[in-house]
Amino acid sequence: MKLIIEHPEWQTPKQRVLLGSVTLVFWMAWFYLWVPILSVIGWVLGIKLFHYQMITLGGLQGFLGMLAWYAVGVLLLGGSLITWATYNIQRFKNANRRGPRKVITDEIQANHFNVDVKDVQAWREAQILSVTMDEYAQIMNVDSEQSKAEGVT
């Protein structure tokens, strides 16, 4: 059985563009996160660019000035998350909003997927199913491998 994740050619062009864009953005973010470590490695190895930018051009003062703004940003974001969590704890402290699960019968499933109820019952008993669906999540074909599974010990 082949999975869709192993076959990117099964994706629509819109899905390929979207997933490729998301992947590119996260790879760029990943490389950006390595920039400070690369700077420190360059500094340790004696590359003069770090000295020129930080000492000669006064980048250290700018860095220290920005460090205070970063700290303020971290404190504001952290404080807002703590405030939001405290608010939710107080608001929902004694409230149990979870209810019992809805009972889903074979008839409901059959109606949802536009198939026969007897098929749903047979599929439930099968050990191995191969389900083919269209792009709208409608069942196109189901192959039951019950007889093959019974022969395996």
**Boundaries of every domain in the chain:** 10-57, 68-94, 106-151
Q: How far is CA 65 from the centre of its chain?
A: 35
More confident call, 78 vs 153? 78
**Short-list 117, 112, 115, CA closest to 141:** 115
Distance CA 35, CA 87 (A): 38
Band of residue 108 on the pLDDT scale cut at 50, 70, 90: very high
Global pTM reads 0.34
For residue 69, pLDDT beyond 70:
yes
Q: How far is CA 29 from the centre of its chain?
A: 16
**Short-list 92, 131, 105, CA closest to 3:** 131
For residue 6, pLDDT beyond 90:
no
Distance CA 138, CA 136 (A): 6
The upper half-sphere exposure of residue 109, i.e. CA atoms within 13 Å in the direction of its Cβ, equals 14
